[in-house]
Amino acid sequence: MIAQRSQLLAGDDWSSFPAAEQRAFAFARKLTRYPGKLSARDIEALERDFGIEPALFLLMYACRCNYITRVSNGFQLGLERDNIFFDYYSDDK
């Protein structure tokens, strides 16, 4: 199920998802590929689709994921299972 959903999300055919989610995926893709092209209209569309608090959460989380990915790529950190900071933030102490 996860592999199938990942494959759908990585593609260009999101028609199996609700329209609001499709627009959220397009927003996240635009943020990832062309962050300088985001506009107030893009954020307002999220607010119309999800409401102000969920739109803010979506925006913040998408930004955080992009930031963390770029930092980890810059430092050539491994995947989460190999994360050298795991003991620092893990509750499994």
* Domain boundaries, given as residue ranges, for the chain: 2-89
pLDDT band at 87 (very low <50, low <70, confident <90, very high): low
pLDDT at 80: 63
Name the residue with tokens 């959460």: 57
Ramachandran area for residue 90 (φ above 0: left; ψ -120 to 50: alpha; else beta): beta
Could you count the other beta carbons within 10 Å of the beta carbon of residue 56? 14
The whole-chain average pLDDT of the chain stands at 87
* Dist. CA 51–CA 54, nearest whole Å: 6
pTM metric for this prediction: 0.75
pLDDT band at 28 (very low <50, low <70, confident <90, very high): very high
